[in-house]
Amino acid sequence: MSEITQNIEQQPNNTLSMHPKKFALWLFIVSIVMIFAGLTSAYLVKQADGGWLLFELPFIFYVSSALILLSSVTMHWAYVSAKKDNFASTKLAMSITVVLGIAFLVTQLMGWNDLVKLGVFFAGSQANPAGSFLYVFSGLHGLHLVSGLIFLIIILVAVFRYQIHGKSMVRMEMCATYWHFLDLLWIYLLVFLIMNA
């Protein structure tokens, strides 16, 4: 009886735990949030200085927003399908998500082209802080989205190799979390720009 008591006493208490890779992902997400919080704060401070260029956001940015929101829907579809071991749906949903992610980046570049046509430049003698901030916001977000696309493609390959299923979901969960975060981040930036133009 004493041996059983000693074994119970030696067992560690159950604690809330998180997969180390998930924890690292959340730290990365927090660092991105801090970067954009700093940038949006700088935007507001600079805007208060005056000399701010007023311009309408090109319509293509709204199109890209619809694409990225749709990609969140397909990402969730892929996640749910993987949990149910529905491999055909998972492959299709992940493939569509990758295509929508690429389409988002393409429309963002088209948005930059439209900005130039409107006379909104990133740098140079004709540049204005309002335009420069828009390029920084969309460019930095686009850079992070490229990393998200790489993650999506890695998961897509794993799905086609049947490495993602109901009993092996850590990578899929991480990918879904990061992708949804990037989607929400863009919507936040879009709303911020509309409200503070």
Q: What is the pLDDT of residue 172?
A: 97
The stretches of 118-168 forming alpha helices (DSSP H) are 129-160
The rounded mean pLDDT for the chain is: 89
Q: What percent of the chain has pLDDT over 90?
A: 74
Q: Looking at the predicted structure, is the pLDDT value of residue 10 above 60?
A: no
| Alpha-carbon dihedral angle through residues 70, 74, 76, 77, given to the nearest 10 degrees | 140
The confidence band for 8, taking pLDDT boundaries of 50, 70 and 90, is: very low
Q: Looking at the predicted structure, is the pLDDT value of residue 119 above 90?
A: no
Q: What is the pLDDT of residue 125?
A: 61
For each of the domains in the chain, give its residue range(s) and CATH number, in order of start.
Answer: 57-195 (1.20.120.80)
Question: pLDDT higher for 9 or 41?
Answer: 41
How confident is the model over 120-144, as pLDDT tens digits?
A: 888 766 678 888 899 999 999 999 9
CA 107 to each of CA 97, 102, 143: distance values in angstroms, whole numbers, following the listed order:
15, 9, 14
DSSP string, 43-90: HHHHHHTS-PPP-PPPTHHHHHHHHHHHHHHHHHHHHHHHHTT-HHHH
Q: Looking at the predicted structure, is the pLDDT value of residue 160 above 70?
A: yes
Q: Looking at the predicted structure, is the pLDDT value of residue 12 above 70?
A: no
Q: What is the pLDDT of residue 49?
A: 83
List beta partners, residue 165: 168
